[in-house]
Amino acid sequence: MKIISGSVCAPKGFTANGIHCGIRKNKTKNDIALIYSEVKASCSAVYTTNLVKGAPLFVTKENISDGFAQAVICNSGNANTCNANGVEIARKTCELTAKELGLKPTDIVVASTGVIGQPLDIEPIASGMKSLVKGLSKTGNGEAVLGIMTTDTKPKEIAVEFEIGGKTCRMGGIAKGSGMIHPNMATMLVFITTDVAISPKMLQVALSSDIKNTFNMVSVDGDTSTNDMVAVLANGLAENDEITDFGVDFDVFMKALNTCNTELCKMIAGDGEGATKFIECKVTGAKTEEIAKVVSKSIICSSLVKTAMFGSDANWGRILCAIGYSGADVDVSKVEVKFASSKGEILVCQNGAGVEFSEEIAKDILLEKDIEILVDLCDGNACATAWGCDLSYEYVKINGDYRT
């Protein structure tokens, strides 16, 4: 398993592009992206758990109900959510894309991200479609990832190369996500491509299983978005024997998917709106994996923990507090807490109580950009990891006037 370049264009048969079509006022920013497979691909997706869902999610779910797709179209700057004609606009976007690519509208995954409740005009999408399709290329991943960004400060891309059954396979992904990020999906859109041959059924099994330990373990601000979607297209051009059941080949595929998704999770958490630090919370010694997950997510979601990390303050009591209200079955009298970064590691709590430690050394450790919160529940062998960021003044500034 090795990291390579190219993200969604790395696998065989995939091209991409992104342009500014006119949805966003800022003409220097791309606002629409397209990913295309030269052959029809197995397709699976997972969606936000929010009861309020963007229209594109309903249309995508309908389109890929047969387990296949051949292209992904996504606009930024407008979420196409809570609009009376939202479904109509999403379907029209699929029709325009399909016509230009010579496909059926039902072969399209459609997505949107941006402001909620703003009418989305189809005209910019229609006028930009010819240029978008014409510019499809094997190096178009860079433009595509820019086309799905909103408040993101940096593009999020990953690709890996691996072998299945003696065949060289590749998998790549792009993601957007910076704010409105909370477990059970977040304000994120993730598009994964691979040239592995795998049935739609096993692709859905793989994706549904992996997000429990990746995207559902990310939190920036506690808000679960309306437009979240993770979609995977697998076109089979690597020519491995099709994966139709569990086994060694499926395990390798799962490892590749987990590698891509984990890296994208870290990028999303590290690019949280207004964030100055990336936080990784590792919980070990739990009685069950579920307990470890609940505890790690409770800590990473705590506003008081986030603000302490922003201030480089080793306020370990806030971590114990987050564990205490998590609802997990934990013996707090056994809990151990450490802080770590590239500057070292320091024990701040043992057996559920404080220990003597140097505030100066702790401060030095927490001044780094990448911080680890290490919690040992000392009650079993299960573990889990959650990702997040600090909470800064800038978060309020960004979201206070986001719409206007």
Mean of pLDDT values over 140-162: 95
Looking at 55-59, 346-350, 351-355, 399-403, which range is the least confident one? 399-403
Strands 229-234 and 189-194: parallel
Asked whether the predicted pLDDT for residue 47 surpasses 60, the reply is yes
Residue 185: per-residue pLDDT: 42
Active-site residue among 93, 113, 151, 187?
A: 187
Mean of pLDDT values over 323-349: 97
Asked whether the predicted pLDDT for residue 187 surpasses 70, the reply is no
Paired residues of 172 in beta bridges: 159, 193
Q: Please state the pTM of the whole predicted model.
A: 0.85
Asked whether the predicted pLDDT for residue 304 surpasses 80, the reply is yes
Of the pLDDT bands very low, low, confident and very high (cuts 50, 70, 90), residue 186 is very low
Asked whether the predicted pLDDT for residue 322 surpasses 70, the reply is yes
Residue 210: per-residue pLDDT: 95
Residue 48: per-residue pLDDT: 80
Residues 256-272 pLDDT 10s = 999 999 999 999 888 87
Mean residue pLDDT across the chain: 92
Residue 373: per-residue pLDDT: 98
How far apart are the C-alpha atoms of 225 and 186, rounded to whole Å? Answer: 5
Q: Parse the chain into domains and list their residue ranges.
A: 2-270, 278-400
Residues 13-44 pLDDT 10s = 999 999 999 999 899 999 999 999 999 999 99
**For the chain, percent of residues with pLDDT exceeding 70:** 94
Residues 155-175 pLDDT 10s = 999 999 999 999 999 999 999
Residue 393: per-residue pLDDT: 84
Of the pLDDT bands very low, low, confident and very high (cuts 50, 70, 90), residue 316 is very high
How far apart are the C-alpha atoms of 373 and 87, rounded to whole Å? Answer: 43
Q: Is 187 an active-site residue?
A: yes
Residues 80-135 pLDDT 10s = 988 889 999 999 999 999 999 999 999 999 999 988 888 899 999 999 999 999 99
Asked whether the predicted pLDDT for residue 141 surpasses 80, the reply is yes
Rg (the chain; Cα; Å): 22
Of the pLDDT bands very low, low, confident and very high (cuts 50, 70, 90), residue 208 is very high
Those residues with Cβ within 8 angstroms of residue 125's Cβ, 6 or more apart along the chain or in another chain? 21, 23, 32, 75, 92, 93, 96
- Of all helices (H) and strands (E), which one includes residue 272? none
Mean of pLDDT values over 357-362: 98
Mean of pLDDT values over 136-140: 98
Q: How far is CA 371 from CA 123, 154, 238, 343, in A?
A: 46, 20, 39, 10
Are 146 and 28 spatial neighbours (Cβ–Cβ below 8 Å)? no
Asked whether the predicted pLDDT for residue 151 surpasses 70, the reply is yes
Residue 81: per-residue pLDDT: 87
Looking at 176-180, 209-213, 249-253, 323-327, which range is the least confident one? 176-180
Residues 337-355 pLDDT 10s = 999 999 999 999 999 999 9
Residues 288-300 pLDDT 10s = 999 999 999 999 9
Of the pLDDT bands very low, low, confident and very high (cuts 50, 70, 90), residue 49 is confident
How far apart are the C-alpha atoms of 159 and 170, rounded to whole Å? Answer: 7
Beta strands in 59-123 (DSSP E): 68-78, 108-115
| CATH class of the 278-400 domain in this structure | alpha beta
Q: Decide yes or no: CATH 3.40.50.300 for domain 2-270.
A: no
